Amino acid sequence: VRADVLRFPLPDPGDVSSLRQAIATGAVNPREIVAVIGKTHGNGLVNDYTRGFLAQSLALLISAATGETPDAVRKRIPFIFSGGVEGVLSPHYSVFTATPSPANASGEKALAIGAAFTPELKPEDIGRQRQIDLTADAVIQAMRAARIESPSDVHFVQVKGPAFTQADIVTAAMAGGKPASDNPGKLMGLGRAASALGVGKALGEIAANHAIESAIGKDFNVFSSVASCSAGVEVRVNEIVVVGVSSKWSGSLAIEHAAMTDALDTAGIRQVLSRLNFPEAVQVSTEQASRIRTAFVKCEASRHGTIRGKSHTMLNDGDIDQQRHIRAAVGAIVASIINDTAIFVSGGAEHQGPDGGGMIAIIAERAA
């Protein structure tokens, strides 16, 4: 099989006309879509309904094109959306397809992708060992689906797990459940953290005896450098997409990743570009930028309140959530270097990359 990644602009979470046209012209075969990952217009927090709106819009479109029911589409294809296109960022979605094709004759590894889902998670499962372990299982399952043989060939694992509103949490508590937090936003963060530990455990980045509930929010030396975890009220399971390289796949796309040690770690960004053979430059040229298929960034406001010794104000702000601040900032830094604003930037990097930093992964066509 051959993996392809096509990015489409999103004028409105209900407007999927770009993909509709691509299906109409045959550029995308809707049955070959294996995942969609994108950035929507909302705030990326609990009350962000733009993710669910886009998911419903895509399910309808693909359902109409394939004859599947919308529910069947949503069970087959992970739709992973993160809200928040602050600053220069541009709303978009990247469609991943897998097309039958012989492996590369050269034996060169090519972009590989696989998906899996955990069972349904309840409010009391979020941020708990159960979420860690179920996520780890699903990551292994997704690696198998992607036919990626070694964890070192995995460069990006996107997880989208459930978020719950105040009403959901109260209902769960009244039924005897013990959610890890009664604050919807905080529970969202605990879920991202547990998911990250699950990814790290599956890939051997984190020893099983460290991939434990009690490390969450405590020991930030425990992290995965390929995990990118989001949460949203529009899903009820952890949806997992594993992206890497495999000799079983063909095509000319490659993926690389690196940790970002802090918000200003441009060296991490350049490292990924260098591995993908982009020439050294303050900014990727327009011509070279056309090789980039999509980019994923995870970032967070440093917990100790400073960046390179100077204070930031993101964690004291009652008007703008810290995630919106950091997405605007790190998103712009990455955009300015790779010369592309339609990138997936997600805040809330608990245990996803080094404390106060995060990670970046880029999918690009190999240099000619």
Q: Residue 19 or 103: which CB sits closer to a copy of itself?
A: 19
* Residue (of 117, 107, 111) closest to 96 by Cα position: 111
Does residue 38 touch a copy of itself according to CB under 8 A?
no
Q: Among this protein's residues, is 230 annotated catalytic?
A: yes
Q: How far is the CB of 228 from a copy of itself (least distance, A)?
A: 20
**Cross-strand partners of 257:** 361
Amino acid, res. 362: I
Query: What does the block give as tokens for 260?
Result: 């970002």
Q: Does the footprint of a copy of itself cover residue 67 (CB under 8 A)?
A: no
Q: What is the DSSP annotation of 20-58? A: HHHHHTTSS-GGGEEEEEEEESS-SSTT--HHHHHHHHH
CB 178 within 8 Å of CB 190: no
Q: Which is nearer to a copy of itself, 107 or 280 (CB)?
A: 280
* The one segment of 26-34, 135-143, 195-203, 263-271 that binds a copy of itself by CB under 8 A: 263-271
Using CB under 8 A as the binding rule, whether residue 274 contacts a copy of itself is answered as no
Is residue 324 involved in binding a copy of itself (CB under 8 A)? yes
Interface stretch with a copy of itself, choices 26-34, 146-154, 247-255, 302-310 (CB under 8 A): 302-310
- x/- mask, a copy of itself, residues 153-172, rule CB under 8 A, reads ------------xxx--x--
Stretch that binds a copy of itself, among 138-146, 192-200, 248-256, 308-316 (CB under 8 A): 308-316
Q: Which of 57, 195, 225, 230 is catalytic?
A: 230
Asked whether position 18 contacts a copy of itself by CB under 8 A, the answer is no
47 makes contact with a copy of itself (CB under 8 A): yes
In the chain, the DSSP E strands lie at: 2-9, 33-40, 79-83, 92-99, 110-120, 154-162, 227-232, 237-246, 253-260, 292-299, 306-307, 310-311, 344-347, 358-365
Residues marked active site are found at 160, 230
